[in-house]
Amino acid sequence: MRTDTKRIIARLDIKGPNLIKGIELDGLRVLGKAWDFAKKYYLEGIDELIFQDTVASLYRRNSLKDIIQKTAKEVFIPMTVAGGIRTIEDIRDVLHSGADKVAINTAAVENPNLIREAAKIFGSQCVVSSIEAFKKENGRYEVWVDYGREPTKIDVMDWAKKVVDLGAGEILLTSINKDGTGKGYDLELVQKISEMVNVPVIASGGAGCKEDVDELLSNTTADAAAIGSVFHYNYSKEINNEAEYRQSLKQLRMGEHVDTGNMDFIYYGYGGSRDLLVETCSIIELKKMLQESGKGIRI
């Protein structure tokens, strides 16, 4: 009987110091301070954390480093940083700040040798290949870069094989079509990649309820499930404790130009015309359910 477990990972999309969610019509919805969510999830029993920088640029880089440094002081589970990793120096910097792994997408597509170099210097276990996959009309999957903005004409299957050969120790696989929809993971995509490569695969994009995660683990050999909204919207009210926090946010807003996104959700509990597309649940609720349905889960 196997004792190894499937990992339940929280994926935090970051802009500046904040946890955000990209909402189609409303821009970027701010859900709260990223650090608060990271700590909360750790205390609630999450297995791993992924911090995805959504507006990666030289200017923004320091915010993510700050989040990691702060988190690393009190959170003792594996952490991965994704977004804006372009050079060996970036990797070194992020690993020293407290990350265990870096996930690379755009920079690796532009220069695949970066993966080989990084694996040689830091070890394969630190190097994750982040693959954002777009399903085309002909049923094939195409690699996209720059956080789901640019197509590349590269086939995902070919790319996945290549990055593993170059030394990537893990694949973070995101379905662009499913991400943010709450309609479930792209099971076909996940299984195709998982059965082809010898390294662990994290499925990301689409989880809308705990049953979606169970479906993923029942129907694919994915090693881990990355989850966003299902957790974020469950904990955001608790984390953004009413009076005190909103007051401090208002003060912040009045004093300076806060270019971090739409704050309506925090203030008023909603953001524009979009309803919540997910059924939220807590980390322990999800884990218990998965364990009850026969999955190896750490509780």
Partner 1 sequence: MKISIVDYGVGNIYNITRAFDYLGVHVSLTRDIKQIRESDKLILPGVGSFESGISNLKKYGLDSEVKDFYKSGKPLLGICLGMQLLFDRSYEDGNWEGLGLISGEVKKFPESPERSYKIPHMCWNTVTFNKTDTSQIGVRIKEDVSKDPYFYFVHSYYVETNAENILLECQYAGKHFAAGVKKENLLAFQFHPERSGEAGLRLLKAFVEG
- Indicate which residues carry an active-site annotation: 13, 132
CB 103 within 8 A of CB 172: yes
Residue 245 amino acid letter: Y
CA dihedral (109, 111, 113, 115) positive or negative? negative
The residue (of 150 and 158) whose beta carbon lies closer to partner 1 is 158
Query: Quick one: which segment of 13-21, 71-79, 139-147, 241-249 binds partner 1 (CB under 8 A)?
Result: 71-79
Tokens of 97: 């700040």
Tokens of 116: 């080989």
Residues 6-25 that bind partner 1 (CB under 8 A): 6-7
Q: Which of 72, 88, 209, 289 binds partner 1 (CB under 8 A)?
A: 72
**How far, in Å, are 12, 17, 196 from residue 20 at the CA level?**
8, 9, 33
The residue (of 22 and 200) whose beta carbon lies closer to partner 1 is 200
SS (HEC) of 43-77: HCCCCEEEEEECCCCCCCHHHHHHHHHHHHHHCCC
Provide the Cα torsion 123, 8, 6, 289; round to 10°: 180
Tokens of 41: 């999830």
The residue (of 114 and 164) whose beta carbon lies closer to partner 1 is 164
- Taking the C-alpha atoms of residue 204 and residue 170, their distance in angstroms, rounded to an integer, is 13
Residue 201 amino acid letter: V
Q: Which of 16, 32, 83, 169 binds partner 1 (CB under 8 A)?
A: 169
What is the contact mask toward partner 1 in residues 45 to 64, using x (rule: CB under 8 A)?
--x-----------------
Q: How far is the CB of 141 from partner 1 (least distance, A)?
A: 18
Q: Residue 3 interacts with partner 1 (CB under 8 A)?
A: yes
Q: Residue 73 interacts with partner 1 (CB under 8 A)?
A: yes
Q: Residue 2 interacts with partner 1 (CB under 8 A)?
A: yes
Vertex 286 angle, CA 30 and 168, to 5°: 75
What is the contact mask toward partner 1 in residues 190 to 229, using x (rule: CB under 8 A)?
----xxxxxxxx-------------------x-xx-----
The SS3 assignment for 5 reads coil
Q: Residue 173 interacts with partner 1 (CB under 8 A)?
A: no
The residue (of 16 and 167) whose beta carbon lies closer to partner 1 is 167
Query: Quick one: which segment of 32-40, 123-131, 269-277, 279-287 binds partner 1 (CB under 8 A)?
Result: 123-131
Query: Quick one: which segment of 75-83, 104-112, 176-184, 269-277 binds partner 1 (CB under 8 A)?
Result: 75-83
- H-helix or E-strand containing 243? helix 242-255
- Taking the C-alpha atoms of residue 189 and residue 160, their distance in angstroms, rounded to an integer, is 12
Q: Residue 294 interacts with partner 1 (CB under 8 A)?
A: no
The SS3 assignment for 105 reads coil
Q: How far is the CB of 47 from partner 1 (least distance, A)?
A: 6
**How far, in Å, are 66, 99, 221, 269 from residue 81 at the CA level?**
12, 6, 24, 29
Q: Which of 98, 155, 162, 267 binds partner 1 (CB under 8 A)?
A: 98
The residue (of 125 and 260) whose beta carbon lies closer to partner 1 is 125
Q: Using CB under 8 A, list all residues that contact partner 1.
A: 2-7, 42, 47, 72-74, 76-78, 95-96, 98, 100, 122-126, 169-170, 194-201, 221, 223-224, 298
